[in-house]
Amino acid sequence: MAEAGEGKKKTQPEGRIKVDLTGQVALVTGASQGLGRAIAEVLAANGATVALVARSADKLADVAAGIEAAGGKAEAFPCDVQQAEAIQQVVDAVAEKHGRIDILVNNAGVTRDTLLPRMSDEEWDTVLTTNLRGPFLFMRAASRPMMQKRYGRIINVASVSGLIGNPGQANYSASKAGLVGLTKTVAKELAGRKITVNAVAPGFIASDMTAALGDVLLDEVKKRVPAKRLGEASEIADAVLFLASPSAGYITAQTLVVDGGLIG
């Protein structure tokens, strides 16, 4: 892959892939922590100006400050991804300021885990609204400036739960399965405008959420994974970086599973 510009090389750890995204504008949802933060940081480290989207203005400010301290460019756009009007306003603001949106990463997501007989309407609706309706709204809004430029990269963060199901996650699994289907359809609609649409489906990734499972459960999880370990947020971010790169121009409507071999 092409090397990033000299001014950005220092922000990219050794051994990770490098892409030249200089001059491109990326919008990342759920960017205040975890996978979203890692994705935003790697896109910025490779030259993109990153619009950071999440509900917490304070957390976004911290992420933006970290990116800028490392030599990158980032801006915070607090937004509730359950609100259609707020989503359109953010996309319009980014497109108007920069004249373009080249990369959209739909990462924002929530869980409300419980078994089906106990699942409330609110628990179902919250997860489907955030995890599926939100990406739909962002794709609908961001695809317009992308079509005008005849270029774009859309990456949706799905999950292996959406591919194989997971007890206690009927809402989450349904939302991520829907996101995979949405990805495939939108990819076929936008391919003629040189816009690719793909999904990344992480398996068990080291995070505050997985740490809360406790050592005993985590040991059982690792036994199920052929790689015998949890994935790292940086490994998901690098998969997103590749799909966001010019090198991935002939890859679309695909779901890249990053799970250490869990689902084969």
Q: Which residues are catalytic?
A: 172
CB-based contacts of 192-195 (< 8 A; 24+ apart in sequence): 193/146, 193/147, 193/150, 193/152, 194/150, 194/151, 194/152, 194/249, 195/143, 195/146, 195/147, 195/150, 195/151, 195/152, 195/153, 195/154
- With left for phi above 0 and alpha for psi between -120 and 50, is residue 56 left, alpha or beta? beta
Tokens at 148, concatenated: 């005008």
The Cα–Cα gap between 165 and 176 comes to 10
